[in-house]
Structure 1
Amino acid sequence: MPDFKSRLKRLRKQKSLTQQEVGDRIGVSKVAVSGYENGIRSPETDTLKKIADLFGTSIDYLIGYSDIPNQATDENNATIAHYVSDMGLLQGTNKLIVDNEIVEEELLKEALDYIRAKRIMKNFR
């Protein structure tokens, strides 16, 4: 799985930015950006937020907790990312919370079955 240093470097190159330009935009030196890309330094939390904003991605993606690079925003412009995994949810390693309550496994299975059935029916139209 890619790590922060490789993702930062790849994102910087995709935007055709130099280390100096990234540093100027996030308020750190070129040496700091080089250190991040070489794994010698780690950014402070505020700097990590600025990096995510600069590249339009999430901190989770930057640090390797997610493989989905693009942010999604809700109507309040808060960054959100909701990913449902049968394995993670149904094996108990993750929990789905709706209205501040954990969704029970049986209800979760029913919801996943419903979504699958709707997708199948959509393909027959």
Structure 2
Amino acid sequence: MHAVLSRYLEAQAWPAGREGRMVDGLRLLQEFAATGARPVTYKEFAEQLQPGLAALAASRVLADIGVFCNAAGWPNVTCFVVSASTGESSPGCRHIGDEGPVVARERAWLSYGVRGDGPLVDPHPAAEAG
């Protein structure tokens, strides 16, 4: 696990389930960003994260991820999750600046998909040293 993420989680002292969902959700969103995937709905995100997880529960995970990305200066990947009815990005996306979800998605895709320099939950061993 990336050292920055590990230290953040240690400081939060969350229950194991909450921590695991946040880490798995961040990993999943980084995969979306790397492929430049279209946004997914809360329901789609929740089901991919943990089968049977309610979409409402996924919003807490997204908020945790958004707060972490803001604190760590990582690209905003929560902008890949939107409401099925409104198309609006998750509240977690709004934890990171005023750039808006379209710009945030583009920025995340450039970082993870094009340049490949975005920080990862599971970095390559050489990258974590740097």
TM, length-normalised to structure 2: 0.25
